[in-house]
């Protein structure tokens, strides 16, 4: 009986459980860089103001989450060397930012699909999420503007052209 236990023990000692696929830091870094370029080159004449680099993290069993912070419009800071913002300046800035929200959402949806096609080690049933926090100056009119936009979908649904658009959930906070 003891020799049988030793033989069974030796058989299982060589057996390793299947390793869960892991998404490498390099794969995430490439997508982060791609996202930063998309934000910065959205409109060369009137770009988004990216405030730091996009960051991604893989959460085993859940998926990949990317986050970024940006200002919808490059805006000069108030200073002693610049005339104060007038009510008309603030109203124009607000209107311009309101126009940019749908454009940002569309870019984010496209970026989600790009990430899904690039991240082969993310399981098909796991999520891909992109959260963008929007910066607002204390002096500007932020009414009607979200503080954060989150888009997410299951990777497999993003890869399926038939379900892609309806699978992407967009939330504003």
pLDDT string in tens for the chain (173-residue length): 444 444 434 444 444 444 455 678 888 999 999 999 999 998 989 999 999 999 999 999 999 999 999 999 998 877 788 888 899 999 999 999 999 999 999 999 999 999 999 999 999 999 999 999 999 999 999 999 999 999 999 999 999 988 888 999 999 99
pLDDT of residue 21: 59
pLDDT of residue 12: 44
What distance in Å separates the CA atoms of residue 68 and residue 14, rounded to the nearest whole number? Answer: 44
Phi, psi for 72 (deg, rounded to 5): -60, -25
pLDDT of residue 162: 82
pLDDT of residue 93: 96
Q: Are the C-beta atoms of 135 and 70 separated by less than 8 Å?
A: yes
Q: Are the C-beta atoms of 49 and 97 separated by less than 8 Å?
A: no
pLDDT of residue 101: 98
Angle at 149 between CA 146 and CA 152, to 5 degrees: 155
Q: Please choose, from the candidates 136, 143, 152, 148, the residue with its C-alpha nearest in 3D space to the C-alpha of residue 172.
A: 148
């Amino acid at each position: 009986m003891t020799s049988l236990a030793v033989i069974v023990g030796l058989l299982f000692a060589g057996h390793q459980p299947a390793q869960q696929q892991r998404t490498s830091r390099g794969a995430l870094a490439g997508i982060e860089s791609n996202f930063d370029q998309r934000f910065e080159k959205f409109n060369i004449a009137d770009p988004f103001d990216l405030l730091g680099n996009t960051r991604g993290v893989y959460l085993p069993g859940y998926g990949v989450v990317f986050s970024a912070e940006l200002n919808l419009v490059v805006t000069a800071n108030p200073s002693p060397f610049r005339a104060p913002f007038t009510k008309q300046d603030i109203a124009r800035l607000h209107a311009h930012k309101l126009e940019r929200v749908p454009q940002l959402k569309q870019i984010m949806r496209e970026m989600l699909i790009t990430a899904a096609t690039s991240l082969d080690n993310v399981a098909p049933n796991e999520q891909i999420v992109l959260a963008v926090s929007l910066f607002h100056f204390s002096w500007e009119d932020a009414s009607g503007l979200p503080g954060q936009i989150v888009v997410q979908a299951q990777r497999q649904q993003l890869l399926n052209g038939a379900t892609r658009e309806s699978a992407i959930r967009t939330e504003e906070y």
